[in-house]
């Protein structure tokens, strides 16, 4: 997503959250500090938009960025045993864990977030996403928040889809048109 946003002519700073990519520290509840540190640095260049997927989407929606895009954001604090099993079996290899299941413990400790401001936030989710993500996003949409459902998108492919990218670039254009 960062590469695609940069191709659209927007300056990008991409970070590895602790426990992800090449970040040396294992995932823990201080992951929000990583986001805030990057935002503080980027603010010296102007307004900041944070974009993230899954738990990163939640981090974006609760951080101090001027604008936020949560893609399939993990908004709930608890997840069903089946969802936890699927995530742990299929996705945990992507996260360096200090203990098995730490990602769900971190989600319990993160703030739930501010109300979603239609002017400063966008949420995208897939119609075939994780059940708890679908339900929380549909709940926000029913309250009038700026939430877009991407038809047939799965949790693990939504950030790769042209439709998702189109919504992201359109919203960034609205936010940064006068910058």
Q: What is the pLDDT of residues 98-135, one digit of tens each?
A: 667 777 788 888 877 555 666 799 999 999 999 999 99
Distance CA 93, CA 67 (A): 30
- Among 1, 3, 48, 13, smallest CA distance to 164 is for 1
Q: How many C-beta neighbours within 10 Å does residue 166 have?
A: 10
- pLDDT (0 to 100) of residue 101: 73
- pLDDT (0 to 100) of residue 144: 82
- Give the tens place of pLDDT for each residue, 37-55: 999 999 999 999 999 998 8
- pLDDT (0 to 100) of residue 63: 93
Q: What's the whole-model pTM score? A: 0.89
Fold that domain 2-176 belongs to in CATH: Rossmann fold (3.40.50)
Residues near 105 by Cβ (< 8 Å), separated by ≥ 6? 29
Query: Is-contact 121 140, C-beta < 8 A?
Result: no
Flag the least confident range among 69-83, 96-110, 128-142. 96-110
């Amino acid at each position: 997503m960062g590469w695609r946003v940069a191709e659209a002519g927007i300056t990008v700073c991409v970070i590895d959250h602790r426990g992800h990519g090449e970040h040396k520290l294992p995932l823990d509840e201080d992951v929000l500090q990583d986001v805030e540190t990057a935002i503080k640095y980027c603010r010296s260049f102007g307004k900041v938009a944070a974009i993230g997927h899954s738990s990163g989407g939640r981090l974006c929606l609760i951080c101090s960025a001027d604008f936020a895009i949560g893609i399939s954001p993990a908004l709930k604090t608890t997840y069903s045993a089946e969802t936890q099993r699927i995530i742990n079996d299929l996705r945990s290899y992507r996260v360096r864990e200090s203990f098995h299941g730490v990602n769900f413990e971190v989600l319990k400790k993160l703030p739930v977030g501010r109300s979603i401001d239609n002017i400063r936030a966008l949420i995208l989710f897939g119609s075939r996403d994780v059940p708890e993500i679908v339900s929380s996003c549909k709940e926000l949409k029913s309250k009038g928040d700026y939430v877009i459902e991407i038809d047939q998108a799965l949790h693990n492919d939504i950030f790769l889809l042209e439709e998702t990218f189109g919504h992201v670039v359109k919203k960034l254009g609205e936010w940064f048109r006068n910058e």
